[in-house]
Structure 1
Amino acid sequence: MKDISNTQFFQVGSDSKIQAYEILDQVYQALSEKGYNPVNQIVGYIMSGDPTYITSHNGARSLIMKVERDDLVEEMLKTYIKSNGWNK
């Protein structure tokens, strides 16, 4: 039997935290599946903060609200810079 007089320690590993690029990928796919222009919808969300720009299909709306909008912009800019071969 466990000693219930001591506080137990629980830590969730950092691997379980979903990354901004994974969220963008899943949201992009959900928007595409529903027939929306993903770029326009994601830009609308980032500029306004209004989650109704993102479909609820496949949980995309809930998913995108798990990450700060500035982190989404940072991830997109980093990817753009890498894809163009620019140096930091």
Structure 2
Amino acid sequence: MTLQLSYDPSSEIQGYSASALGIVAGLLVGEAGTDRLIDLMQSDGLIAPLLAVRGLAKSEARLASGIRELLGSLAREHPSNMERREAAELVT
């Protein structure tokens, strides 16, 4: 259901879905969930990428290499200082 909700037009719902996908990343969602999580982390705006990073911070799963690389990119290049800081905390 989380994967389906991530396609909702509401950025708030996408954000909370991104958070949930981040929490269960690598555990329950498989490749489709990981791909969608990456899409949400790269989306415009602040809500979905930030909540995805916060979800990943709560996850006990080992992060996929594609997600780790994207976190590094977000930590260096995202326009939001908050997003850069929280992404950097996960890659260090």
Category of TM-score, reference length = shorter chain: under 0.3
TM-score, length-normalised on structure 1?
Answer: 0.26
Which has the higher Rg, Structure 1 or Structure 2?
Answer: 1
